[in-house]
Amino acid sequence: MTMTTATAGNQAQQPQPQTIGFGNVLHSEWTKLRTVRSTYWTAGIAALASIALGALICARTAYNIKHGRQSLDGFDATLASLDGLYIAQVAIGALGVLTISSEYGTGMIRATLATVPQRRAMLAAKLLVFAVATFVAGEVMSFAAFGIGQQLLGSAHAGISLSDPAALRATIGGGLYLTAVGLLGFGMGALVRNTAGALSAFFGTLFALTVVDDLLPTNLRNDVIPYLPANAGSQIITVVHTAGSLSPWAGLGVLTLYGAAATVAATVLITRRDA
Amino acid sequence: MIEATDLTKRFGSTLAVDGLNFTVRPGYVTGFLGPNGAGKSTTMRMILGLDRPTRGSVTVNGKPYDQLRRPLHQIGAVLEVRAMHGGRTAYHHLLCLAQASGIPSRRVNEVLDLVGLENVGRKRAGKFSLGMSQRLGLAAALLGDPAILICDEPVNGLDPDGILWIRTLLRSLASEGRAVFVSSHLMSEMALTADHLIVIGQGKVLADASTSEIIASGSRKYVLVRSRDPHRLRTLLTAAGATVNSHPGDDSSAVVEELRLHVTGMDHDTIGDLAARHGIPVLELTPHSASLEDAYMELTHRYVDFHAGTDASTAPATESGI
């Protein structure tokens, strides 16, 4: 508690960079992401959901096939093993929201922006760190879920291997799908800034749009359905497509556009709004 | 050096900050005083580029905040008690800010040491008391060893030990040649800490002068005179140009009340001489100087948004001159 201002003279001793570099901001954002518990909670839930749920579905399907209760007609073995991603996406989206909204909620944003006044650079660094982390974790989950799921389905001779180009695309697509959903969460978090509001906007966009779609006239509805975020994005993890759906990559692109639109809007606004 | 020029901020129909002009100079502790809602926090947020001015500008070392290279090395700020994620440890909170500025991690341990948090660096900031949070905020502000430090209500919630510590720290930082800009609503604390004061009310500068000048400007200086012949003394003093009132003291006895005079506009030497020349026995002659609080109340009285039910500023000046 004794106070000596040993703080002075510090500048003379150590060489310091002339300006803040983007690398500095990336480094900082990575530290932020890895030093809060919510990151590990959401990643843990996502991993559990994608791997355990996928395994459960595949085990049950294998049992049904072996006992003649399910035919292999139109069966999508890849999607069966990746079904858990539909639950994992909720956790990943929430993490995307929290990554930015928690800064506003706690007041940390003011310390952040006082350190890095280049707000767009800060937002870009935060997004990049989150997206790369989500992509890497998402690919691990997707490949693990596929591997375990196909092992289980194999017992009923219903499995598929990664040598199948569509199965490989879908499994790689699993990580991409989670990243695109994470981007939507991040964009909503950056745009709305309040955690509860941003979570609502995220879930609303991902799921509730489907309900709104029912209000449209029938002839229009069929034109719109493939472009809803969940429908579009899920094509990348689907091997056996239903008629009228978008192609895998176009679908992923459409889902990504939703998140990109929210993120771009937030990027435009961030320098105009008071922090 | 912080320079505000016609700094103005409007929130909807409320003019929070209205054309402020002021300078915060190196080597001094500059106090920023004003009632709640006067615009102190908004001004500080505009200095840091967090809020955009509606009109006018404020610069730090001659530049708008967002054009500063390595801002943490030029200006450190303690804006709010908890501008931190409660789930992160004190060490990691400081580390992520340090990394963003290219400050080596050993500096994080240095500042934790400096603010007396060296033993709790691995604890989550959310578990910290108000006082510890203030210290952590200061640690963050000192990371870049800045030449300017700004603090919004830094002694809020601190115990007497902590208040003394902050005061000593701010004074020593200023004595090293740094500019220290600190807001507070505790007048007595400001009188001890600040060399210079900027007083604002309803977004406008009411006074910008040294602390001693502002205290001296208070009109609540008076001399308490107790005499065996108050009526004759009152007549003499009034004739000599002084203003005399019965002292509105706290004595309940009407007799005692009658003996005490409250004299303004004449110093105690002159009163004593005058009484002696006319052979009036004087029992007590006590000069009362105004406190900063009195001067401040006078300055801001008209500008307080919400008055309390009783008007505290009409009470007699406190005995302790500062």
How do residues B94-125 score in pLDDT, each as one tens digit? 999 999 999 999 999 999 999 999 999 999 99
End of a domain among B191, B214, B237? B214
pLDDT tens sequence across B127-139: 998 889 999 999 9
Q: Among all chains, which residue has been given the structure tokens 């002696």?
A: B276
pLDDT tens sequence across B172-211: 999 999 999 999 877 778 888 999 999 998 889 989 999 8
Cβ distance of B73 and A108 shorter than 8 Å: no
Same domain, B184 and B280: no
pLDDT tens sequence across A240-268: 988 889 999 999 999 999 999 999 999 99
The answer to the question of residue B246 being in a domain is yes
A90: nearest Cα among A135, A42, A55: A42
End of a domain among B214, B243, B258? B214
Same domain, B108 and B206: yes
Same domain, B42 and B188: yes
Q: How far apart are CA A230 and CA A216, in angstroms?
A: 18
Question: Tokens representing A227?
Answer: 């472009």
Identify the pLDDT of residue B44.
95
Enumerate residues 6+ apart whose C-beta is below 8 A from A208: none
The answer to the question of residue B175 being in a domain is yes
**What residue of B is the nearest CA neighbor of A10?**
B145
Please tell me the pTM assigned to this model.
0.84
The answer to the question of residue B45 being in a domain is yes
Looking at beta carbons, which residues of chain B come within 8 Å of A28? 96-97, 99-100
Among A2, A5, A29, the residue to mutate for chain B (most B Cβ within 10 A): A5
Same domain, B142 and B33: yes
Q: How far apart are CA A21 and CA A50, in angstroms?
A: 37
Contact A141, A51 (CB under 8 A): yes
Q: Residue B102: left if φ>0, alpha if ψ -120 to 50, beta else—which one? A: left
Same domain, B95 and B198: yes
pLDDT tens sequence across B47-96: 999 999 999 999 999 999 999 989 999 999 998 667 899 999 999 999 99
* CA dihedral sign of residues A14, A17, A19, A23: negative
Cβ distance of B92 and A31 shorter than 8 Å: yes
Mapped onto helix, strand or coil, the DSSP state of residue B157 is coil
Distance from CA of A45 to the nearest CA of B (A): 19
Which domain covers residue B184, as residue numbers?
2-214
Same domain, B273 and B249: yes
Same domain, B275 and B241: yes
Q: Is the model more confident about B301 or about B64? A: B64
The answer to the question of residue B39 being in a domain is yes
Q: Among all chains, which residue has been given the structure tokens 């990243």?
A: A179
pLDDT higher than 70, residue A30: yes
B19: nearest Cα among B29, B9, B8: B8
Same domain, B172 and B241: no
Q: Angle CA(B125)–CA(B130)–CA(B131) in degrees, nearest 5? A: 100
The answer to the question of residue B56 being in a domain is yes
CB atoms within 10 A of CB B190: 25
H helical segments located in A4-51: 10-13, 22-34, 37-48
Mean pLDDT of A14-25: 74
Identify the pLDDT of residue A98.
96
Among B145, B151, B171, B180, the residue to mutate for chain A (most A Cβ within 10 A): B145
The answer to the question of residue B318 being in a domain is no
Distance from CA of A58 to the nearest CA of B (A): 38
What size, in residues, is chain A?
275
Q: Angle CA(A46)–CA(A51)–CA(A57) in degrees, nearest 5? A: 120
Identify the pLDDT of residue B308.
47
Cβ distance of A18 and B97 shorter than 8 Å: no
Identify the pLDDT of residue A217.
84
The answer to the question of residue B192 being in a domain is yes
Cβ distance of B169 and A5 shorter than 8 Å: yes
Same domain, B40 and B17: yes
Cβ distance of B70 and A29 shorter than 8 Å: no
Of A11, A18, A113, the CB nearest to B50: A113
Same domain, B108 and B242: no
Among A4, A13, A35, the residue to mutate for chain B (most B Cβ within 10 A): A35
Identify the pLDDT of residue B159.
86
We report the CATH number of the domain holding residue B172 as 3.40.50.300
We report the CATH number of the domain holding residue B271 as 3.30.70
pLDDT tens sequence across A209-227: 777 777 888 888 888 889 9
Largest interatomic CA distance in chain A: 81
Identify the pLDDT of residue B219.
58
Identify the pLDDT of residue A54.
94
Tell me the domain boundaries of chain A. 22-270
Same domain, B146 and B268: no
Contact B64, B7 (CB under 8 A): no
Same domain, B18 and B85: yes
End of a domain among B159, B190, B214? B214
Q: How many domains does chain B divide into?
A: 2
Q: Which of A182-196, A252-266, B264-278, B290-304 has the lowest mean pLDDT?
A: B290-304
Of A5, A108, A112, the CB nearest to B176: A5
The answer to the question of residue B321 being in a domain is no
